[in-house]
Structure 1
Amino acid sequence: MRSETSTTWANPDGTMTTEEHTAPIRFKDAKGAWKSIDLTLAEGTDGTVAPRGHGLGLQLGRRNSVAGGVFASAAAGTGRQVEWMAPWKLPQPSLDGTKATYAEVQPGVDLRLDARRSGFESDFVVKQRPADGVAPVWRIPLRTKGLTARQNADGAIEFVDAKNVVRSRIPVGQMWDAVTDEHTNLPVNTAAVAMSIEQVSPGKATLVIAPDAKWLLDPARAFPVTVDPTYANTPLYSTFDAFVQSGWPNDLSSTVDLRAGKNGTTTERSFLNFAGASFQGKDITAANLSLYQYGATTCTATQLDLHAALPASTETR
């Protein structure tokens, strides 16, 4: 048995084994057949860049497109679409796995797009300190179908349908400089990015991304600086993992890592949400959790405390 997030095998002894993921691993194509998600980017004959397998039909900008062309487009359900328009001409992209880099879209600024299962991440990489001493502000035209853009109270941008249901969003962005932790390789200096939305006409809006000038132009800032807004079609990240961090009030569920323990003076905890419907009323005889670890502030063996909330009427043996 297969679903978007799981694969189940029947065992010879009458039990079943389910491999459940926190994010989709497959999707159904137009003919209703299951296809594996493959975020590896490839360039088509028309110059458009797209993942080899993506449930949202994600497409990235084509080479040498003129200003005003689409540089990222993804569906948010049937009849709903969000397109990010390029205010500059796009050069030939450099592809590396899930990432496409468009060099020098502005003097000293690269645009790097990273395919995600739920959408895409867009990084504006400011390669050196602005010579004019002015922090950049990006105004990105958005074109929507079946959706209207609005700003949430926490600063995130939401896309709602005719019934005011949130279908996709741009969480509050982050930015960081080139200083990284020697143990985890994670950014040391981070800050939130101010975003706003300007309505132009039905189906058209402008996303304004305004990095904090004081933070960006601080003499201690180490370049390049990366400014990171992310688009996701999962408004609440209901099937995705997340971590929380003391002293940071914003949504961190769009990040690509999990953190646990002490990170300097902050405390971090991670939450993983697995679909549990298939386990309802079942006897679970054994369970294993697999994680990739790529960084830690210490190599000393540390106990990891796991707390599981199982569906009602489920027994663990």
Structure 2
Amino acid sequence: MAAAMQPAVADVQAAGSSAATPLSAEAAASQKAAADGSPVEVTDDRTEYETTYANPDGTTFTRDQSTVPVRARQSDGSWTAPDPTLVVRADGTVGPKAAVVDLAFSGGGAGSGLVDITRGGKSLRLGWPGTLPKPTLDGVNAVYADVLPGVDLRMTATTEGFRELLVVKTLEAAANAELKKISFSLRADGLTVAPTSGGGMTAVDEDAHPVFTAPPALMWDSRGDGTTAGTATQLERSAAMTTTATPSPSATTDPSTGTKGDGTAGPGDGDASAVLPVQVSWDALAVVPDATLLGNTDSGAFPVYIDPSVGLDQTAHTYLRSDGVSDFNWSNGSDNEGKGTGHCSSWNGYYCGPGYTERLYFQFSPSGLAGKKVLSATFRATESWSFTCDARWVDLERTSNISSSTTWATRPNNLGTMATADVSAGRSSLCDPSQPPAPIEFTGSSLTTTVGNFAAGKFSRLTLLVKARDETDTSS
């Protein structure tokens, strides 16, 4: 299966309240929807992750809930589309145009102000142990060149957090003793920071509710960069969830023409990798890089990448691979192709990878759904690429919950199949008739009942898995 993830969406229809308060926002929207014969948004109920519509029947509502932000609030209170593109601010710091966290990267100077992230008045500040040069901005990235000899620090903004990536460019740079342990100074305001059992970090408020979270750090080399498959081909068959179906230019690419991928995006086929537990103290976060990867004497294994990240604990989604690679709160990437499901190997002359299985998990919080009577529920995905023009079965399953520390080895337990779909989309003109990227909807009584129980408070989080039904089929 393939797709392009913007927001992962659960579309839920819930019973509306009575008209006892005729001038409420809900009642006004219901009246207008009934009069117009079309859905009307209840704008007062907007959040960064949810959109509510009054239905034309005048009594029910439809709520769309996403696992990534669909809008961000601006300083004047208005809403805008999330946009993590970095800009220089009046105070000299660097931050995203529109995000659901207050995020500021250093404009250069003292390393103690490397990054500030704030949500609801609660904040974390991380510092670099040294002076920072003025960063070079490139879209969502701020690159601080040569923070150590031959080592760049690349800070990437997301709509919910940030990613720190150390790029060790040469064998000589890797020999620097300062890379044996990398420590970032830490200051928390209104939060208590602690390690997680899986090697990550969590920052909780005074009520022990997680505000920010971090998975274990990941480290990888460039041994596989000479191949023409790997990351690029994998992204072309990636699966993701979205409320839109705008095809990216690469969505129609034949996978046999895959090209060398961007090594900063994560480990590709043939790259060696290692998971690095985050060491947490009251005033520092630290990682100890893998000595074998740093000590490689083959210059072709460089650059080597070391990637810790921090994000908002609001909703969650994670990508798991059977070879141990994971990506918590992954994004679509610059090509808008997202991540994949199914078995990544070879099929009909097309090479995807050396033989691993991919799964996608999406976790929802009850939020505005709590207490509603659910009449129907739909989980919507956009498939952006498939290996064949012939449809393959994709299953939507409920599982136990995920966290930033979830790996393939600790993957959630299956709690039952919610819905299935027999689909093929994204190959465009390679099929006759053409099959452009297309939204896929999962719905049915099992999903509706489960979402109803979720709304009733029978469990605190709803986690859904998108997976190929036959995970031995290399064309699925």
Q: TM-score, normalised on structure 1? A: 0.80
Residue of structure 1 equivalent to 2:101: 56
Residue of structure 1 equivalent to 2:404: none
Of 224, 233, 237, which aligns to 1:183? 233
1:123 match: secondary structure: strand
Of 282, 295, 318, which aligns to 1:217? 295
1:303 matched to 2:392? The reply is yes
Distance 1:292 1:12 in 2: 30
1:214 match: secondary structure: helix
How far 1:224 sits from its partner (Å)?
Answer: 1.0
The one-letter code of the counterpart of 1:270 is L
Residue of structure 1 equivalent to 2:310: 231
Of 87, 109, 112, which aligns to 1:69? 112
1:312 matched to 2:452? The reply is yes
1:160 matched to 2:204? The reply is yes
How far 1:112 sits from its partner (Å)?
Answer: 0.9
Contact 2:156 2:162 in 1 (8 A): yes
Distance 1:267 1:289 in 2: 22
The one-letter code of the counterpart of 1:312 is G
Contact 1:76 1:82 in 2 (8 A): no
- When the two chains are superposed, the root-mean-square deviation of aligned CA atoms in Å is 3.1
Where in structure 1 are there 5+ consecutive unaligned residues?
Answer: 200-204
1:269 matched to 2:359? The reply is yes
1:271 match: secondary structure: strand
How far 1:302 sits from its partner (Å)?
Answer: 5.5
**1:160-186 deviation per Cα after TM superposition (whole angstroms, max 9, x unaligned):** 334444332221011122225162246
Contact 1:172 1:251 in 2 (8 A): no
Residue of structure 2 equivalent to 1:254: 329
Residue of structure 2 equivalent to 1:24: 69
**1:258-286 deviation per Cα after TM superposition (whole angstroms, max 9, x unaligned):** 3311233432211234567559535449x
In the superposition, relative to structure 1, how do residues 109 and 20 fare at CA in structure 2: closer, same or farther (>3 Å)? same
The one-letter code of the counterpart of 1:258 is K
Contact 2:74 2:98 in 1 (8 A): no
Distance 2:55 2:173 in 1: 65
Q: When the two structures are aligned, how many residues end up with a matched partner?
A: 299
Q: TM-score, normalised on structure 2? A: 0.55
Aligned runs of 1:93-242 on 2, under 5 Å? 93-130=135-172, 133=175, 136=179, 137-178=181-222, 179-180=224-225, 181=230, 183-184=233-234, 185=261, 187-188=268-269, 189=271, 190-199=273-282, 205-220=283-298, 222-234=301-313, 239-242=315-318
Give the share of equivalent positions with the same residue, in percent. 28
How far 1:21 sits from its partner (Å)?
Answer: 2.8
1:183 match: secondary structure: helix
The one-letter code of the counterpart of 1:195 is V
In the superposition, relative to structure 1, how do residues 88 and 164 fare at CA in structure 2: closer, same or farther (>3 Å)? same
Where in structure 2 are there 5+ consecutive unaligned residues?
Answer: 1-41, 235-260, 262-266, 332-337, 345-353, 397-417, 419-446, 455-476
Contact 1:177 1:187 in 2 (8 A): no
Contact 1:36 1:53 in 2 (8 A): yes
Distance 1:164 1:21 in 2: 24
Contact 1:281 1:313 in 2 (8 A): no
**1:124-167 deviation per Cα after TM superposition (whole angstroms, max 9, x unaligned):** 11111135735613111111112232222221122233444433
1:84 matched to 2:129? The reply is no
How far 1:72 sits from its partner (Å)?
Answer: 0.8
Contact 1:243 1:268 in 2 (8 A): yes
2:293 match: secondary structure: helix
**1:232-281 deviation per Cα after TM superposition (whole angstroms, max 9, x unaligned):** 121xxx52322233353x87423334331123343221123456755953
Distance 1:120 1:132 in 2: 24
Distance 2:73 2:84 in 1: 15
2:292 match: secondary structure: helix
Distance 1:289 1:162 in 2: 36
How far 1:84 sits from its partner (Å)?
Answer: 0.8
Distance 2:294 2:382 in 1: 34
How far 1:288 sits from its partner (Å)?
Answer: 7.2
Of 270, 276, 291, which aligns to 2:382? 291
Contact 1:27 1:35 in 2 (8 A): yes
Higher relative contact order (CA 8 A, sep 6+): 2
**1:176-219 deviation per Cα after TM superposition (whole angstroms, max 9, x unaligned):** 222251622462322112431234xxxxx121221111123234
Distance 1:155 1:21 in 2: 27
Distance 1:84 1:300 in 2: 48
In the superposition, relative to structure 1, how do residues 299 and 198 fare at CA in structure 2: closer, same or farther (>3 Å)? same
The one-letter code of the counterpart of 2:380 is L
